[in-house]
Amino acid sequence: MREIPWHPAPTRRRVFRLRVLLTVGALAVLSTGACQAEGGDSLLVDRGTFIDAYVELRVAALRNQGELPEGRREEILRDHGVTDDQLVAFAEGHGAELEFMRDVWNEIEARIESAPPIPPQP
């Protein structure tokens, strides 16, 4: 007489489902950790905050011949409640979303172009 196994042998479909489940679980765990800065602050900022901070940084640099005075960058970032890491994380996190990022950069460009002109240097 043939014994009936306690657990049926894994089928290809079950193995595939298990692999998918483990992969999704691992990605969820890794993404949770990747979205936290050292101090526990979330690295994900919203689109508007990214644009506001980037535009102010760029305009300030343009008004100072391409370089910000010491401490000005940190001041601008602090005023917007973001860090360098958060700006980089936003760009990296949305980098694959081509239409989204195209719209972000188009808005940044439009806002920089509409900024008041740079005063002439004496």
Residue 87's pLDDT is 92
* 118 belongs to a structural domain: no
Residue 19's pLDDT is 56
Q: Which residue type does 11 have?
A: T
Contact between 77 and 53 under an 8 Å Cβ cutoff? The reply is yes
25 and 77 co-located in one domain: no
Contact between 101 and 94 under an 8 Å Cβ cutoff? The reply is yes
Please state the rounded mean pLDDT for residues 57-64: 88
- Looking at the structure of the chain, the number of domains it has is 2
104 and 51 co-located in one domain: yes
pLDDT top residue among 12 and 70:
70
Contact between 78 and 105 under an 8 Å Cβ cutoff? The reply is no
* 26 belongs to a structural domain: yes
Please state the rounded mean pLDDT for residues 40-62: 85
